[in-house]
């Protein structure tokens, strides 16, 4: 793989890993909606998509007529596909840098204030007045917990209220640092160093590859 394609493929991944590592070594939990989380992941893998499926099925006939502008159409197509996927996702909240046994008491106290009829059944939670049904799905190795919707019959307004209230509570909660966040940061830095070395070794080849790929 030439240096430019290497940068294009791994650059967004490196940034994603650095951000994820920074979140995990923080002393505060970080709440993110499933839609935003998937959107960030979509941006992180965009370079891999460009050098993979996009180049594999590149419309050469359109490139002859449109030149480099064809890349704007291809990027727009990718964005629209990503948006379509995001619109199909069920409601979900992701809490980074917190263990399930730490989050559950916080969530239990919160839902009793949000909905007096809230009921637990194992890891499942029902808030009938908010029209929200979910279950807890944890990733112990990375100390992340997801609140995933049960079934399609959900009220977006109820999820928005739950997200706002939970974020307000988590802002006042402090946790220990997750040492696994250092491994993410190390991996991100290693990838960044590889990219910088690849560019420094032959910058002219990188520039030429850029011009060739985008028909500039």
Render pLDDT for 155-178 as a digit per residue (tens, 0 to 9). Answer: 999 999 999 999 999 988 888 888
Answer yes or no: do 2 and 68 share one domain. Answer: yes
Q: Are residues 84 and 14 in the same domain?
A: yes
pLDDT of residue 34: 93
Same domain, yes or no, for 53 and 110?
A: no
pLDDT of 215 strictly over 90: no
In this structure, the answer to whether residues 65 and 94 fall within a common structural domain is no
Q: For position 63, what pLDDT does the model report? A: 79
Cα pseudo-dihedral 13, 18, 21, 22, rounded to 10: -150
Could you report the per-residue pLDDT of 10-67, keeping only the tens digit for each?
Answer: 999 999 999 999 998 988 899 999 999 999 999 999 999 998 888 888 888 887 888 7
Q: 216 falls in which pLDDT band (50, 70, 90)?
A: low
Q: CB-side exposure of 200: number of CA atoms within 13 Å? A: 6
Asked whether residue 159 falls in the same domain as residue 116, the answer is yes
Count the neighbouring beta carbons within 10 Å of the beta carbon of residue 55: 12
Residue 37's pLDDT is 94
Predicted local confidence at residue 94, as pLDDT: 95
Task: Tell whether 28 and 76 lie within a shared domain.
Answer: yes
When pLDDT is cut at 50, 70 and 90, the band that residue 137 belongs to is very high
Residue 197: partners with Cβ closer than 8 Å, 6 or more residues away:
none
Asked if 154 and 125 touch (Cβ cutoff 8 Å), the reply is: no
Sequence-distant (6+) residues with CB within 8 A of 153 are: 131, 133
Query: What is the count of structural domains for the chain?
Result: 2
Instruction: Report the distance separating Cα 209 and Cα 32, nearest Å.
Output: 37
Residue 127: pLDDT over 80 = yes
CA 207/CA 205 separation, integer angstroms = 5
For residues 81 and 96, state if they share a domain: no
Q: What CATH number is attached to the domain comprising 127?
A: 3.30.310
- Same domain membership, residue 97 and residue 80: no
Q: Do 82 and 187 sit in the same domain of this protein?
A: yes
Same domain flag for 108 and 129: yes
User: Do residue 123 and residue 84 come from a single domain?
Assistant: no
Band (pLDDT 50/70/90 cuts) for residue 206 is confident
- State percent of the chain over pLDDT 70: 99
pLDDT tens column, 60-69: 888 788 877 8
Of the chain, the percentage scoring pLDDT greater than 90 comes to: 56
Structural domain of residue 59, as residue ranges? 1-89+177-216
Residue 81 and residue 186 in one domain? yes
Interatomic CA distance for residues 14 and 44, integer angstroms: 8
| pTM of the model as a whole | 0.86
pLDDT of residue 45: 95
């Amino acid at each position: 793989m030439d240096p430019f394609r290497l940068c294009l493929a791994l650059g967004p991944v490196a940034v994603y890993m650095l951000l994820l590592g920074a979140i995990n070594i923080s002393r505060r939990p970080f709440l993110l909606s499933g839609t935003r989380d998937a959107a960030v992941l979509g941006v992180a893998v965009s370079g891999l998509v460009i050098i993979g499926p996009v180049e594999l099925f590149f419309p050469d006939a359109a490139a002859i007529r449109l030149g480099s502008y064809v890349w704007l159409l291809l990027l727009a197509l990718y964005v629209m596909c990503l948006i379509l996927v995001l619109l199909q996702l069920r409601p979900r909240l992701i809490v980074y840098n917190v263990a399930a046994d730490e989050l559950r008491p916080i969530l239990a106290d919160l839902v009793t204030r949000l909905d007096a009829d809230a009921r637990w059944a194992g890891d499942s939670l029902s808030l009938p007045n908010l029209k929200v049904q979910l279950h807890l799905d944890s990733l112990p190795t990375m100390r992340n917990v997801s609140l995933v919707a049960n079934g399609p019959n959900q009220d977006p307004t109820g999820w928005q209220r739950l997200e706002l209230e939970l974020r307000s509570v988590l802002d006042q909660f402090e946790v220990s640092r997750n040492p696994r966040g250092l491994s993410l940061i190390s991996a991100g830095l290693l990838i960044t160093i590889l990219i910088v070395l690849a560019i420094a070794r032959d910058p002219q080849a990188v520039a030429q590859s850029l011009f060739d790929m985008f028909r500039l």
